[in-house]
Structure 1
Amino acid sequence: MIIYEAQISEFLDDVSNEVIVDRLYNVYQEKIGRTSKSEIRSWDHSLQRMSNVLRDRDIPKDAKAAIEFKIPNTGKRVDFIIAGNDGKTDHAVIVELKQWETVEKNNRLDAVVVETYLGGTKHLTTHPSYQAWSYASLIEDFNEEVRTAPIHLHPCAYLHNYFILENDPILDEHYAEHIEKAPIFRKGEMEQLRQFIKKYIKYGDKNDIIARIENGRIKPSKSLQDSMAAMLQGNPEFIMIDDQKVVYERILDYVTGCISENKKGVFIVKGGPGTGKSVLAINLLVQLIQNDYFAMYVTKNSAPRDVYATKLKGTMKKKSIDNLFKGSGSFHAADKNEFDVLIVDEAHRLNEKSGLFNNLGENQVKELINSAKFSVFFIDEAQRVTLKDIGSVDFIKKYASELDVNVFEGELASQFRCDGSDGYIAWLDDVLGIRETANNNDLGMEYDIRIFDSPNELRKIIKEKNAINNKARIVAGYCWEWISEGKNNRDVHDINIEEHDFSISWNLGNDIWAIAEESVDEAGCIHTCQGLEFDFVGVIIGDDLRFENGKVVTDYTKRAKTDQSIKGIKKWMKEDPVAATKAVDAIIRNTYRTLMTRGQKGCYVYCTDNELAKYFKSRLRKVYKERAETKNLLIAEHSEEYKFK
């Protein structure tokens, strides 16, 4: 998606006539639905400088300019694109615009990280050349039109407020590799930037280059589980960008520093669903192993470990696989500092006790910290989904302090799931009543979310999507008893919705549910899908989440008796009803938040409570009311009530 596109002549006129802000604001409101004119005006100076760059007689005025192109499957945007032809082939120059005034070299981290002031505070961030190159690489990776046409991409960075210095840190040899891939231009180097553009853009955009970039066929997203084997063989399957790359390099630096100085360390990585926590964790595992550290990947939930192990069969010995991936309950008997590095994914799912009967060890957080010279915890506290889940930032800090361990922190914000839409995550949190956000009626992007009136229609579309590449699954809230457990028979159905003549079994357990093709005919639950992702997910919301008296409410009594997530809640309700009610309410909301963020491209929902379905539809109706005339993609055709009038 592009916010603004015009011939260069039109762009120059819009800047000269001081209407560029209004045009950007109007299109931004139409396509995304959330911004302010003050935010748009912050771009005004950069766009004025770009108009000065493009006022060159040799830059063709019928070349195209595009502003704010959203990179597919991410939440990232390219600042400025200039598209044209050199007489033989099509080209697009990608310009990363920065208003930075100063930069400091970071000598300790990899050659992509610099320090600069953002919002008045000094931050570590990626070098502009690396950022421009990584964005161009992502476009080439995802967009088949760019690769096959081909459309040649040429990234660069323009720091128009940055004064040239003697021995300038921004051009230090430390960053030479990336500057060669994406040259950097500073204040006073406008002519050099013009020459860079004119090298590729000699004629106008006669072949609709911008439109082809925007509308080109998007290659299916890579999934972590499918890329696991290649990653462990050292192949860079995922390009890390912005905060991902900064956190990755910081962790590697602290691991090296702490272990060489014989000091223990803990690094806490906070990030919501789809922010690349697991991809970062596996990249760390690979690099640490290559650096000859004794490292392991740890999760409480067995589902991702089982999927990864299955994907690695035939590429590694079973013993080697088992030594890479461990459950969080296997460290209570470990010696102090037995491992160099433990990478703990889904740390919010850690329990206090270990073992089948929860009678082993003292505390999993404490045991993990004790067992490793350096431990990394990836955490999203809003994904705690059982009463036993104790993983929290404060809890990790508490035990690190008790063990006299240094604590470092980082945060991931970039969105890679849900079509890269930060807006969808915020909108979902608001709709589910988890937290109030500014996204009352805004998805941010065109993420494919639909509310179905029939579970049969939901199952039908999931099976259609799954036929493409086996990456669509049905999941449900744990509101139906697991009567098929141990029977391995899909004819024994657990989830029955009689008014729709619908029934389906819970996942049987005889296959790896997330990747076995037959499991599209089964329903997964929170325990079989957390930590994994699909292209499309169908979510059946049970009676534990309803809409009453104008708000979304939870009801733990509608949970199945076989659900271990809230085991002990009745006793806790008697002892401390206020605390127990708050805890179980959060678990139910977090469960559906997690289920509804498993899909990279779309989420389809059926609610057993009709009022909740109506509420979801009303929230979506407000989002898409203005767009309904031109795009009806998110409307379930069977639902008359959902259609916009």
Structure 2
Amino acid sequence: MIIYRATKKQFVTDVFNNTIADNIDEAFYEHLGRHTSPNEVRSWQNSMQYMSRVVNTPELPDDTGVAIEYQIPLTAKRVDFIVSGLNSQKREQLVIIELKQWENAEPTPKPGVVVTKFQHGKAEVAHPSYQAWSYAYMLQNYNMTIQERGVDICPCAYLHNYAPDGMINGKLYEDYVVKAPVFLKNDAARLQDYILRYVRYCSPEDVLWKIDNGKLRPSKQLADSLTSMLRGNEEFMMLDDQKVVYESAVYLAEKAQQGKKQVLIVEGGPGTGKSVLAINLLVNLTAEGIASQYVTKNSAPRAVYSVKLSGSFKKTYIDNLFVGSGTFTETMPDTMGALIVDEAHRLNLKSGLFSNKGENQIKEIIKTARFSVFFVDDCQRIHMKDIGSVQSIKQYAEEMGADVHLEHLSSQFRCNGSDGFLSWLDNALQIRETANIRLTAEDYDFRIYDSPTEMFEEVKRRNQANNKSRVVAGYCWDWNSKQNHAAYDIVIPQFGFRKQWNFNSNEPWLIGEKSIDQIGCIHTCQGLELDYVGVIVGPDLTYKNNRVVTDGFKRSPNDQSLKGFKAMVRKNPTEALQSADAIIKNTYRTLMTRGMKGCYVYFCDKALAEHFRELMAEKPSKEPTVRIEPVVNDDVKYIDFLPVYSMKAACGYFGEGEDYSELGWIRVEGMGKLNRNMFVVQACGHSMEPRINDGDFCVFRINPAGSRQGKIMLVQHRNYYDADNAGAYSIKEYSSVKSYDEFGSWQHEKIELKPLNRDYNSIIITPEDGDEFQVVGELVGVL
């Protein structure tokens, strides 16, 4: 997603008119439904003045593309500035520029990490060259348009307030500066030369638009990459705070082998890459000769990893690398060089099946290893016995005489890379108040279903692509199938919905070939990720008197998460209810953040469903928002009302084919001044979701003059079949590839009619189709 896109000429004009920061902020609001921070607006105001002077040269064509704040696919990270065009060999080229307002920085002993000053004080951050290079790597590896078109990417960093000091671009960071040069306070001319070295001509096509709307490579999942990682291959690029945390952990691990015990606590929410970092540390510390193990309380990730690694490594090797948190009750001090604890919020006081072994899992881990790192999220505590909070780990580590270090992860790699969705979810569940009170379609594919059957079938359809989508539920239904394998567990009778829990599976539910028909719970998916997750929110979570209300008594007695809750209510009801409230909300927060691409939800409580809908940018209405009138007075036609046609009729009538009559008239508001060149058709199918949904009424303008590139058009294509519309008519995004001769004349090489829903295929129109293809109208808006 690009926040601001323009030509070089327009960008320079916006800066000259002193509107650039406002323009970017308005575009930010348009895309994300919220304004950014005043600090970021001020940084745009400042940095864009410098960039305008750099690109404002006659040697760089006026139509050269400029993009500001491009969000890297599948992450929450944004590239500050991009220049696009053609190089001297007429190849498509991007120059990406990481902008910094730093005035100075200090070196660290950690590769690719420096210290600089922010408003809140000094902090360790990734070196600007590493940052720019890693962003380029992510773009190159995840954007299929860049790969297919062979677009070259050249990264660099521009620190326009930083006086030369021989450090930031010196020998210490030479490996990274070679990959992405650093330009400092007096280097505007050098940066200009760098850009001109790679961008000499403007492209006849809008390269930035194609990249922004291009297909993405399927996102990697940790479980699928384990074998390669254990063999020493780098499968995941570490960005920004990930890089800092990783290098800090390696540094402390090496330091601990020769001296005082070191403990690192890494706090991070869902999808911030905690597990990826943990596996990377396991691999690299082991390679350095530091005896290391990966530790989790939850057995589900270990079971999945074991299956994925079987056949490539011996079982004894796998079992020695991946162990449970109750393994260390009787181990001697400093037996291990490093213990890497994932999902540390799930650690318990006691170990063993009956919780009768050991003293304290946190203390036993710290005792066993010279270096221990705890990856923790306090908001994923989902069991009464969970003790692994940031505060408790810090307290125990200090009591045991260890040096304690705290780091934080914020980079988002799940939920479409949307920090906005996570903040919105916290606000919707009333876990904490956030500024994200509205969710937009661009944030994340989040849908609310009125039927669990419809939701389940949609997730099942998504699962057909790669077996990486599942449905989960709150533990509000008894495990009947444990005793009777033919019995059903999750039963919602008014919809005829009947499913079993997944516990009787012979293979890990997350990767089982047939487990899509079973429902998972928090215990079988925490610490793991899916492409799409469906969530059934049970009666333990409701909405009353403007509050999200939890009820621990609605949980199944088979669920161990609230074991002891009823006894606690009798002794201390306030503490018991508060504890249950946190566990239930954390459970659903965790379930709803398992999906990398989408989350579909059915709420048993209708009031809660309506509460969530109220917080979505486009609130679904219970009644139709438009009404077709069979007849209206002539004096309101094309003033307040537009004619409605079937898609076939519109293509026949406005395409100057057969003369079809209208189906009726619809009142149209909010589309500007109406005229006789405008009409309405009803969309069919799901190919243009989320912008156009099945059944939406769409206002079109008869094919206007000018470029159609990137616009949504109504077209007819007699040689092709559109499954959505069961015929030769389509509403699709228009994209064309043109070729030019030596005289500057052009012709279409092909026209691509692109769906917005990636589950559908494009329709390719070639020059041979000739009169069998015509554009009828351009989308004005959706009623």
Q: TM-score range by the shorter chain?
A: over 0.9
- Are the structure 2 counterparts of residues 444 and 413 from structure 1 closer, same or farther at C-alpha, using a change threshold of 3 Å? farther
Opposite residue 545 of structure 1, the aligned amino acid is L
Q: Matched residue of 1:503: which SS? A: strand
Equivalent residue number for residue 154 of structure 2: 154
Q: Of residues 587, 590, 595 in structure 2, which corresponds to 1:594?
A: 590
1:356-505 counterparts in 2 under 5 A? Answer: 356-442=353-439, 445-485=442-482, 489=485, 491-505=486-500
Q: Matched residue of 1:463: which SS? A: helix
Per-residue deviation, 1:635: 8.9
Contact 2:126 2:244 in 1 (8 A): yes
Cα separation, 1, equivalents of 2:213 and 2:691: 19
- Are the structure 2 counterparts of residues 53 and 303 from structure 1 closer, same or farther at C-alpha, using a change threshold of 3 Å? same
Per-residue deviation, 1:446: 2.8
Q: Matched residue of 1:170: which SS? A: coil
Deviation digits for residues 380-439 of structure 1 (CA, Å, limit 9, x no counterpart): 010000101111112112211221111111110111100111110010001001111111
Contact 2:32 2:442 in 1 (8 A): yes
Per-residue deviation, 1:443: 5.2
Opposite residue 408 of structure 1, the aligned amino acid is H
Cα separation, 2, equivalents of 1:470 and 1:360: 39
Contact 2:505 2:515 in 1 (8 A): no
Contact 1:21 1:37 in 2 (8 A): no
Per-residue deviation, 1:637: 5.9
Contact 1:348 1:389 in 2 (8 A): yes
Contact 1:269 1:412 in 2 (8 A): yes
Cα separation, 2, equivalents of 1:207 and 1:624: 37
Equivalent residue number for residue 118 of structure 2: 118
Cα separation, 2, equivalents of 1:273 and 1:634: 27
Deviation digits for residues 93-136 of structure 1 (CA, Å, limit 9, x no counterpart): 00000101001111x211x1111112251111111110000001
Equivalent residue number for residue 562 of structure 1: 558
Q: Of residues 690, 696, 700 in structure 2, which corresponds to 1:633?
A: 690
Cα separation, 2, equivalents of 1:104 and 1:372: 31
Cα separation, 1, equivalents of 2:556 and 2:335: 41
Q: Matched residue of 1:450: which SS? A: strand
Cα separation, 2, equivalents of 1:9 and 1:170: 32
Equivalent residue number for residue 282 of structure 1: 279
**Is the counterpart of residue 242 in structure 1 residue 240 in structure 2?**
yes
Deviation digits for residues 432-468 of structure 1 (CA, Å, limit 9, x no counterpart): 0111111111459430000000011111111111000
Q: Matched residue of 2:168: which SS? A: helix
Moved more, 594-603 or 546-555: 546-555
Cα separation, 2, equivalents of 1:171 and 1:81: 22
Higher relative contact order (CA 8 A, sep 6+): 1
Equivalent residue number for residue 525 of structure 1: 521
Cα separation, 2, equivalents of 1:123 and 1:444: 34
Deviation digits for residues 7-56 of structure 1 (CA, Å, limit 9, x no counterpart): 10111111111121221122111101222573323211100100000111
Q: Matched residue of 1:582: which SS? A: helix
Opposite residue 9 of structure 1, the aligned amino acid is K
Per-residue deviation, 1:205: 2.5
**Is the counterpart of residue 8 in structure 1 residue 8 in structure 2?**
yes
CA RMSD of aligned residues (A): 2.0
**Is the counterpart of residue 133 in structure 1 residue 190 in structure 2?**
no
Q: Matched residue of 1:330: which SS? A: coil
Equivalent residue number for residue 77 of structure 1: 78
Structure possessing the higher radius of gyration over alpha carbons: 2
Contact 2:90 2:201 in 1 (8 A): no
Cα separation, 1, equivalents of 2:306 and 2:128: 38
Equivalent residue number for residue 52 of structure 2: 51
Equivalent residue number for residue 307 of structure 1: 304
Opposite residue 633 of structure 1, the aligned amino acid is P
Give the structure with the larger helix fraction: 1
Q: Matched residue of 2:125: which SS? A: strand
Percent identity over the alignment is 49
Contact 1:456 1:500 in 2 (8 A): yes
Cα separation, 2, equivalents of 1:574 and 1:367: 33
Cα separation, 2, equivalents of 1:56 and 1:569: 70
**Is the counterpart of residue 215 in structure 1 residue 213 in structure 2?**
yes
Cα separation, 2, equivalents of 1:635 and 1:594: 30
- Are the structure 2 counterparts of residues 36 and 417 from structure 1 closer, same or farther at C-alpha, using a change threshold of 3 Å? closer
Cα separation, 2, equivalents of 1:102 and 1:587: 45
Q: Of residues 538, 545, 569 in structure 2, which corresponds to 1:542?
A: 538
Q: Matched residue of 2:464: which SS? A: helix
Contact 2:421 2:443 in 1 (8 A): no
1:210-359 counterparts in 2 under 5 A? Answer: 210-261=208-259, 263-359=260-356
Q: Matched residue of 1:329: which SS? A: coil
Contact 2:439 2:617 in 1 (8 A): no
Contact 2:613 2:620 in 1 (8 A): no
Q: Matched residue of 2:290: which SS? A: coil
Deviation digits for residues 288-329 of structure 1 (CA, Å, limit 9, x no counterpart): 000011100000000001101110001110000000000001
Cα separation, 1, equivalents of 2:407 and 2:158: 28
- Are the structure 2 counterparts of residues 635 and 594 from structure 1 closer, same or farther at C-alpha, using a change threshold of 3 Å? farther
What stretches of structure 2 of length at least 5 have no aligned partner?
A: 622-669, 672-682, 698-781
What stretches of structure 1 of length at least 5 have no aligned partner?
A: none
Moved more, 441-450 or 96-105: 441-450
- Are the structure 2 counterparts of residues 256 and 37 from structure 1 closer, same or farther at C-alpha, using a change threshold of 3 Å? closer
Equivalent residue number for residue 42 of structure 1: 43
Opposite residue 199 of structure 2, the aligned amino acid is I
Deviation digits for residues 38-92 of structure 1 (CA, Å, limit 9, x no counterpart): 3323211100100000111211111110000000000000000000002421001
Equivalent residue number for residue 102 of structure 2: 100
Equivalent residue number for residue 187 of structure 2: 189
1:608-619 counterparts in 2 under 5 A? Answer: 608-619=604-615
Aligned length: 633
Contact 2:473 2:519 in 1 (8 A): yes
**Is the counterpart of residue 512 in structure 1 residue 508 in structure 2?**
yes
- Are the structure 2 counterparts of residues 634 and 339 from structure 1 closer, same or farther at C-alpha, using a change threshold of 3 Å? farther
Opposite residue 283 of structure 2, the aligned amino acid is V
- Are the structure 2 counterparts of residues 368 and 267 from structure 1 closer, same or farther at C-alpha, using a change threshold of 3 Å? same
Q: Matched residue of 1:390: which SS? A: coil
